[in-house]
Structure formats: structure tokens, C-alpha cells
Structure 1
Amino acid sequence: MLNHYAETYKNELLNEVVPFWEKNSLDKEYGGYFTCIDNSGEIYDTDKFIWLQARQIWMFATLCQKVQKNEAWKKIAMHGARFLEKQGRDEFGNWYFSLNQKGEPLVQPYNIFSDCFAAMAFGKLYEIEPKERYAEIAKTTFENILKRRENPKGKYNKIYRGTRNLQNFALPMILCNLSLELEHLLGSEQVDSVTDSVVNLIMNKFYHKESGLVLENISVGGEFVDSFEGRLLNPGHAIEAMWFIMNLGIRKKDIDLVKKAEKIMFQQLEYGWDNEYGGIFYFMDIKNHPPQQLEHDQKLWWVHVETLVALAKTYTCTQNDKAKKWFEKVHDYTWNHFRDKENGGEWYGYLNRKGEVHLNLKGGKWKGCFHVPRGLLEVWQTLER
């Protein structure tokens, strides 16, 4: 049984990780959150990245909803929401990528994931503070995301259209989870419509049946494209997507979908595991050619945390010994390498291939208050059930 791990994950979440962000991340002068925080809790850069601001709103609102009605957590969520509501969007309702500390725009709204996590944040905020404007922000943003699906970067897309048109895995993956997060606002009919199409795309197009692996990019028609982008694998992305799809399968009472997601998850994990040093590779090439990403052999926090969530969900559904053994293996690697045993608090994010800390930051441009606390919460509550 794995349920004895539940208390370990709960304690780490509530006594180490959440207090780190409560203590260090709030900008009490201008609003919003700092995310560029080193291992001692010092702020080393004050720029604010919209998707990380939104993720922290969602995280603290989720803690209020799923753990306890804690007024301090609610205040932290509202603190970020006030900043984003006032500063986060352009005149067309598109969410910027980043702002300076005061909330002045730095980078244009080219990145649709700012919108995705803003919708998720205000949707969750509405559940703990049911003000109609929060629901409207979430729904309007979600509709804008759907309108941009075919060309997410819009006028900021640097790709020359028509020569090698590709579709990327990330947005369909996010829509699996985002739709479920917003079901209380969208209704089950719209959730079914969106998720049925993206699940079909993921499981029948991005999933490369011949290899058993999930591609990061395919042609607009769903075919394999033999290029750097077309050969690219991101095992962590695929594994995370599979636990989203398991949730959808459970919601639909579709056991075949759950089993297929479990099978694909294991295929990615087994292929992506570094048998020499342990851990899961960041990027790989499906033909074993050299990847173009120089960081391809690094070990990243979110990849491993999301894998633990997927394995916990798999074990809860199936009780199979394979899930148990893999959970224990990934748990040991993750807790021994990413967790800061000296300072406590939030975990490290970036290791080299050997598992040594590569950057001693606890948060930055891409890492904020999200994957570690969400993962700890998901594993705790999944195994406790």
C-alpha cells in the first residue's frame, strides 16, 4: 500500500512549501507576487510573469477550497487577483506575458498560457469568493483561448506560415485540465465538447502508435514530421497530460480511457527514465538524434512532481504493483534530489543530468508557486482516499 505516504506529502505541503511562499512572495508595495526567489528567500528580480501570478492565485484559492477555509490563504489569493485584474490585460482582453514590479507591461500577450492560467485562477477564485466579475473574466478569457486555438501566438507568431505548419501538444493538454477546472462556469455540455475533441487529438494524433510515445509537435493534419520539432519528445508533458485524461475518464466513467492513459503514461516513463543517473530526461528525440535543446538532459522539478501525481492516481485506480514500484522509485529520486534538506521550504527546480543542483533558485521566470504545492496536494489527497 502507498497510503502511508499521504501524511508525508501533507506535512511537506503545509509546513514547508506553503509557508515559503506566504513569507517570501508577496509584494506589499505594488501588489502581486515575486517569483524570482533564491534558496535563502531573497528576491533577485522583481519582474512579474502573468502565468506565474495566476498560478499562485489558483494555488491559494485551491488550498482554501480543498484543505480548509483559511482567511490568510484567501487574502493571499485576493492580493494577486487585485493586481492581475487591474494590470494584467491589454485593451482587447489578452493577458500580457510579463510586467515590471509596478505592473507596467514588459512583454506583449504572445503567450496563450498567460490566458489559460488567468482563466483557471479567476474560475477558482469565483468558487471561494463568488463575485460575478470573476466568473466573467474566466469565461471571457476561456472563449478567447478557443478563438486563438488555430494560431495561439497570433500576430506575434514568428513562424513563416505555409511551409511547415505544425500543431503543438501543450494547448490541447492544458485544455483537458482547464475545461474541468471551469466546469462550474462552462457547464458539462461545453466541457464535453472541448474535451472530447482534444482527447481524440492527443490519444489518436499526438500519440505515435508505432513507438508508443507522445510527440510534442505534429502536422496540422496529424502526421509525423521528420524535423527537430517533429521528432521532439517531452516525457513530462505527456505524463502530466495522462493524469488529466485519467481525471476525464473517471468523470465520464470511461474505464477504457483511464486504462489507455495509464498505459501511455508508463510508456513515456519507461522511455524517459535515465538508467545511468536516475530521473527523467527533459527533452528527447524520437529517433535518438541530438535534440536541439541544450538543456535536454537536465532533470526538472515539474516533470518528476507531475509523474508522482500520475502514478498516485494510477495506483489508486488499479492497485497494481507496477504503479507502486514506480511511485517509490520516482519518490526516492525526487525527494532526495529536488527537496532542499538544508533550508527547507520550496524545492529546487533544475538539476544537471547527474542529479546535482544546477541552479539554486526556488523560483524564477518559469518556476513559481504551482507544480510543487499542487503535486504535494494531489498526491496527499489521492493516496489518502
Structure 2
Amino acid sequence: MLQEINTELREHIIPFWKSLRDDENGGFYGLLDYELSLDKKAPKGAILNSRILWFFARAFVELGDKTLLEYADHAYKFMKTSMLDKKCGICWSVTYDGQVLDSTRHTYNQAFAIYALSEYYKACGRTEVLDEALDLFYLVEEKCRDDGGYLEAFDKNFRLLPNDKLSENGVLADRTMNTALHILEAYTLLFEVTGDAAIKKQVGNRLSELLVTINNKIYDRDKKRQEVFFDLEYNSLIDLYSYGHDIEASWLIDLAVNTLGEGYLDKGIEKQIREMTLDMARNTMEHALIDGSFINECENGVNDTTRIWWVQSEAMVGFANAYTKTRELQFLSAVRSIWEYTKENMIDKREGSEWFWQVDEKGNPATKPIVEPWKCPYHNGRMCFEIIERLKKEL
């Protein structure tokens, strides 16, 4: 399995995303449809560009191939010149040639820029890059939160907007689990790479506060799941069990706690959090692992049995994480079965393609784009890095 995943990373995922580089207008092309028709003039989403920057930076850190750093450099240049404003953060999207198209400042988007810049700093070591990540951290803390936690969508002047970009299933949320999770992810990496002790403590304090918020307000202990969409007081707006986000959170939260180390979390809270992450892994295994693959979500008690590319990826990492914590073979078996399913059903065998966005319960792919603002190398690329690292001594 590890050799197959290594081959998938090196010989399929990396070459595919290299092929999306736009040398004429900068950045990477924003749309490759299901028929593999490339639209060179499609808008370029900042989330996609951030995730591509993160991917090539992480690939360089892991593999040491200098050409990978060149691709990260290319993504960074486009972010800095076309998407990032020192005073008001990163926009939502730009045109194919780098003109601002949607100036929305979304907290989720700032998080991915922090995540990408932090990884890029690990790769290139340039202080200016870390400074840009820290500028965004301070911006988020000043503009994108209230006393209760993180808010969602703003205009360029940080006046609140309706959160239509990260609300689904018929609700409009004031707060979302998804934004909180990816702020957590970004701050974890920023904490890791920050050397200045005083700044590190600032980041660590915010990260620990967010962990407590997730533990106390986002996680439902009775249902052993995270709630997804909230009003300002953290009242859940919908009966939705997002299996993919829960298994993703199970390992990202553990990573955050491990990265923080001693001195930030009360021991009792830390114990609750570690129990929470294992409970989420066990609960998703019970409810979402069906016929060797991982289904999408459950709304009002009805399962959506779609298999989605990022959900399979995060499930593999989440179960690998649970295995290393418990040594329970059921988790390792789940990683193997999802990988076998992914090989047969999620990976597109057509030349010039990558992974399907989703397939139905019979394995038939939906005709959704192979690349678009949300379809990226972040989930499946990260799965490859994480599984190879976590299980290399096990298999």
C-alpha cells in the first residue's frame, strides 16, 4: 500500500498539478472540466491557489526536489501580486489575469493563506514569508472574531456579509465548524514554524482557546460528533452529521494538541479533547465506513452515500492516526480498505486527469470538474504525505 501511495503521489498527483501552471498570466489554471477541457480564462480562486502553494511547498519539504520549490515559488508570486493585500488580507477570487473578481474577505480563506505561507516558509526559509503569515494572523484576530469566537464573511472593509460561501443545506450560518477547524489547522502550523517566543505564545494562546471552544461548544458529546452550522450563540441550525469533517478533525485536533505541548491546556480539558478525537474516529467508523469506503454525511437521519475524493483522503489519515494511538487493527484495516476503494473508483484512469470529485454508491463518477476553486491537491496530496509518514514503520 505505501509503495502504491508513493507512486500515486510522485507519478500522478504531482505531475498533474504541475501541468496546471499558467506561465502566461501567473498562478495555476482555475478550471479543468469533467471532459478534461481546460479553460485558461476561468477565474482563479484564492483557496485553490493557497492549497496549491501549500502542496508544492510540503512536497518540497518531504521530497527535496528543487523543481517542487519552483512551483511553490510560482504560486506564491501570484498570491502576493494578485490576491494578497497587506492591510485587508486575501480576497476570494481573481480573474485569469489576476484582477480582483470577488473581494470578499472570508475567515476560512485567510486561514488557508496562513497555512500555505507557513508551509512555504518551512520550504524557503525567507523571513518575509513568515511575516506575511503573521500579518494575516493578527488581521484575523483583530477583524474576524468577536468575544465568542470566529465569524465568517466580510467585505474588504471588514463589514459583515451573509455567509453564503460556507453555508449549505438550506441554512445561513453565523459560525461554522469548518472555519473553526481550518483556523485550528493554520494556527497549528504557524505555531510550529514561529521562532520568536513572545509571538509563539500569542499564537499558542489563541490555538488553545480555539481547542476549548471546539471541545465545549462545537462538539456534541451525546452524539459524539461535531455540529456544523451555528448561530452566534453556537446553537446548532441543522441536524447534520458531516462524517468527512469529523474524521478530518479527529487527527487535526490531535496534531494541534501534540504541537502545542505542555503549558497551554488544562490537563482535564486535554484529556477530554483526546477522548473526543478517538470517539469521533470510532463513531465515524461505525456510521460512515460502509462496504470498505467512507460515505459523505447524514442529514436528519438520512445518509448521503456519495463517496467524495476529499472524504476518502481524510478518512485514511484519520484512521491511521487512530491506529497509531490505539494499535487497534480495525483502524489499519479501514485505511487499507479505503485505499483499495480509492484506487478502483476515485482515481481517474484517463490520461491528463487526476481524481474524480465524487462517485455514487455504485462507483459511477459525477460529471463534476477535475479542477475548480474547491477541487485541489490539498486533501489527496496530504493523505499521501501523512500515510507514508505515519505508517512507514508499520507496513
Same-fold call, TM > 0.5? yes
The answer to whether structure 1 residue 317 and structure 2 residue 325 are counterparts is: yes
The 8 Å contact of residues 168 and 218 in structure 1, kept in 2 or not, is answered as yes
The answer to whether structure 1 residue 66 and structure 2 residue 74 are counterparts is: no
2: CA distance between counterparts of 1:381 and 1:307? 16
* Match among 262, 265, 271 for residue 278 of structure 2: 262
> Which segment is superposed worse, 53-62 or 311-320?
311-320
Shift of 1:182: 0.8
Equivalent in the alignment of 1:81: 76
Equivalent in the alignment of 1:334: 342
Shift of 1:145: 1.8
1:347 match: secondary structure: coil
Aligned residues: 364
2: CA distance between counterparts of 1:373 and 1:344? 17
% identical equivalent positions: 20
Shift of 1:41: 5.3
2: CA distance between counterparts of 1:87 and 1:347? 28
Equivalent in the alignment of 1:158: 162
1:13 match: secondary structure: helix
1:27-38 matched pairs, under 5 angstroms: 27-38=22-33
Shift of 1:279: 3.7
2: CA distance between counterparts of 1:167 and 1:21? 32
Equivalent in the alignment of 2:125: 130
1:32 match: secondary structure: coil
Shift of 1:235: 1.2
Equivalent in the alignment of 1:211: 223
Change (3 A) 1:96 1:217: same
Change (3 A) 1:91 1:246: closer
The 8 Å contact of residues 214 and 268 in structure 1, kept in 2 or not, is answered as no
* Match among 20, 24, 30 for residue 25 of structure 1: 20
1:1-385 matched pairs, under 5 angstroms: 5-22=1-18, 24-38=19-33, 42-44=37-39, 46-68=42-64, 70-90=65-85, 92-147=87-142, 148-150=144-146, 151-154=151-154, 155=159, 157-158=161-162, 166-183=174-191, 184-185=193-194, 187-223=199-235, 225=236, 229-251=237-259, 252=261, 256=271, 257-273=273-289, 275=290, 279-285=293-299, 287-288=300-301, 296-343=304-351, 346-359=354-367, 361-385=369-393
1:344-380: per-residue Cα shift (whole Å, max 9, x none)? Answer: 7521112234331002632112101211111111111
2: CA distance between counterparts of 1:28 and 1:299? 34
The 8 Å contact of residues 94 and 109 in structure 1, kept in 2 or not, is answered as no
1:86-124: per-residue Cα shift (whole Å, max 9, x none)? Answer: 110357322111111110111122422221111222222
Query: What residue ranges of structure 2 are gaps of 5+ in the alignment?
Result: 165-171
Instruction: Tell me which amino acid in the other structure corresponds to 2:214.
Output: I
1:361 match: secondary structure: coil
Shift of 1:166: 4.3
The 8 Å contact of residues 107 and 140 in structure 2, kept in 1 or not, is answered as yes
TM-score (norm 2): 0.84
Instruction: Tell me which amino acid in the other structure corresponds to 1:204.
Output: N
Instruction: Tell me which amino acid in the other structure corresponds to 1:50.
Output: A
1: CA distance between counterparts of 2:231 and 2:152? 15
TM-score (norm 1): 0.86
1:201-227: per-residue Cα shift (whole Å, max 9, x none)? Answer: 22232221222222102344344x4xx
1:213-255: per-residue Cα shift (whole Å, max 9, x none)? Answer: 22102344344x4xxx332221111211111112123333788
Change (3 A) 1:284 1:142: same
Instruction: Tell me which amino acid in the other structure corresponds to 1:64.
Output: F
The 8 Å contact of residues 235 and 281 in structure 1, kept in 2 or not, is answered as yes
The 8 Å contact of residues 17 and 345 in structure 1, kept in 2 or not, is answered as no
The 8 Å contact of residues 58 and 121 in structure 1, kept in 2 or not, is answered as yes
Q: What's the RMSD between the two structures over aligned residues?
A: 2.6
Shift of 1:259: 4.3
Query: What residue ranges of structure 1 are gaps of 5+ in the alignment?
Result: 291-295
